[in-house]
Chains A and B, each alone.
Chain A
Amino acid sequence: MEVMVPKENNNDQVVMITKLYVENGCFIDQGADLIEFETSKTAVVLQSPAAGYVTFYYQVDDEVEVNSPVCSINDKAPESDLSTDKEIINISSDTKRHDGLTFSKVASKLDKNLTDLDGHYWVTSRVLANSDPLVRAGLESQEKNNSNRDTKVQSSISSDIDVREEDYKVIKTTMRKRSEISNLRISGGGEFQSTIGIEITGGSRLAKNLVFESSIQDLVCYESSKMLGNEYNDLNAFYISDSEIGIFNSVAVGISLDNDNNKLTVARINDSNTLTLLGIQDRLGSLFIQFEDGTLSAESLMPSTYTITDLSSSGATYILPLLNGAEALILGIVRKGYDSFGVYASFDHRVSSGLRVSHFLDNLKARIEAHFDFTSTVEGGKCDFCFKSLSEELELGNRGLLCLSTPAGQKNICSNCYAGW
């Protein structure tokens, strides 16, 4: 007997399979959990209407039309069909024949290390399995994932932007997200970008850096890259279609650069989540110089996975950054006060949600603020060498005391003592 997908609500024409409770061909008891699928509202678990052997017509992440058959329950176990491609692990399209070796058709579709086949003349898939460590380890079906790629990918990306297929993996969006997109499309007139902002307090950095003395761009770059490379990987993504998004395999932050001479450019730092803060600062410095010189490399002009635009040196106190190309997140930095910055995150509602992005910003704030020393105050400071007070230093027209890292720990030093050093 065939098992049909029930119509749980009037809105859904399709559901997405999220879990299969038994393996194909296995026996299931009547009433046992059979399939979980997701509607636009909730997840639904379907129980088996009968006892028998299950033959699934779909896999996890497949979409199935409501009121259509999703599997069958049979009296006999289904026979395996070696002729279908599903049974074959297709690692490589290369099929080489070695003189003297005869391969079965199944074996000929598998990649093989011919040196492991010494002593063989007739090669079956089992011979390969016992000889080839890759096959033995069980390889992922990348070909299957690639074959499921939606052709809509190309249509959602600007023809000016080149996103290489090997740079991302495709995942299905949930039914609820699709429903949300659909609603946004209807109600928002097609606009899917939202912006959320947060205020970050700066101050005296624990690790001084003259270049980024009055900016937090490096910290935003450093911490956001780390987060996007880990727990917020879903923001390191882009919209493909209502049913699919692309998650980038690596993090490459794009730095928005603009001056009076050169047009707006976004230069990227590859694998930004793997760099240290000093590394980020160094790369940023290089980009600044290259941009000024007009010598940015082609590599650095490749598309980034997300973008940071820093207007904290201007007088702007608010920004609504626009998403750039195949990205789901852009961070804009403005200065709110002397030691106060605003970080605004514009995101693609088709990829993420306001709640998710706000959590991201909360964490980003905490991480950035951890770079600052809020325990020391201007009034309490003094030169540890001549004991001149901060206020005395300021009266001399100097900016303040310098923070010196020494083997004995951090020391304050006035400019006079520093010059004499």
Chain B
Amino acid sequence: MMTAVTKKTVLIVLRHSPYGSGLAKAALDTALASAAFEQSFDLLFMGDGVLQLHPGQDSRVKGFKNLGRQLASLPLYEINHVYVETQALARYNIDVSKSPVHIQQLNGSEIRQLMTCYDHLMGF
């Protein structure tokens, strides 16, 4: 039962690869639950977390659901902003220009600035 009356601003920070642990899925589920309860939140992909945005990911061989496909459904949930660490994208050579989600790239100092703008940070 949802009893919250207040609305907080939240930045969900995704720092882990999509299939190496359950954290990427846990973060996505938390984002979707937050959207369902009409909370105001943004997403930030950092470090290994940018692998979740890999355009060619295919999880069938591992027997998992494709997280990239679930991420692609995010625009349906009126998520305000999706941010990604520029250096991490470069390190893994990931191209997000054709991503179904609009993604804004940030450098280290912009990320530090961004993190001061929210009531809560949730790190996954």
Do these two chains interact? no
A-binding residues in B (CB < 8 A): none
